[in-house]
Amino acid sequence: MGNKHRTPTQTTIRSDCNVRKVLLLGTGASGKSTLCRSITTHYHPYNIPDYDFKGQIISTLTEAILRTSLTQYEEWNFLASQNTQALKANEIDPEIASAIKKLWSIEHVREQLRITQSLPNAIHDMKYLSYYISRLDELSKPHSKLTAEDYTRIRVKTTGIVELEVPLNKHHTLQLLDVGGNRNERKSKCT
């Protein structure tokens, strides 16, 4: 008698053998999420999520500039007066984009940003900031979409666990598990 009828448990075990799981561990800002986003854009280039990422970009740029505490600039005070809802909106306000670009054009502001980058708990690096500053005009246009490079360069703190499944071929799948970089995040997911 053949084994024509498999129980659900046998089917699950057999299908799990075709899934290769990779647990991505590392410190915060070590590139685990960037790797996942890069793989996503490679395998699904037309499926780049747009939600909340423009808000994340503008919020990070604003927070970095506000850390410089350069209150003598009118644009700095304008950014400081914006509420967090305006900064996290999915469309970038052209006035906010203009204020950021104007501040970025001042050498003293860029020097202060370099100094704050070296402080503990720095939330940005200059390459990240300069890339998005150069993209602000395009990103602040209504209904503009993120490019694959925009999506890959976004810095978002991972909390919890993010799963990404990538089809390797007809029969095998790679499952990446990205856990948060903070020690307490890793401990809670590995127990």
Each residue's pLDDT tens digit, 58-90: 888 888 888 888 888 999 889 888 876 666 677
In the chain, the domains with their CATH numbers are 53-153 (1.10.400), 158-191 (no CATH)
pLDDT in tens, 154-165: 877 777 888 888
> What are the start-end ranges of the H helices in the chain?
8-16, 32-43, 53-66, 74-81, 84-87, 94-104, 107-117, 126-139, 148-153, 183-190
Token code pair at residue 40: 């996503």
Q: How distant, in Å, are the alpha carbons of 29, 35, 39, 80, 184 from that of 25?
A: 11, 12, 17, 36, 12
Q: How far apart are CA 2 and CA 33, in angstroms?
A: 46
CA angle 79, 80, 86 (to 5 degrees): 60
Instruction: Decide if pLDDT at 3 tops 60.
Output: no
Query: What's the confidence (pLDDT) of residue 7?
Result: 46
DSSP state of 191: -
Full-model pTM: 0.69
Helix (H) or strand (E) holding 176: strand 173-179
Token code pair at residue 167: 């089809």
pLDDT grade for 16, boundaries at 50, 70 and 90? low
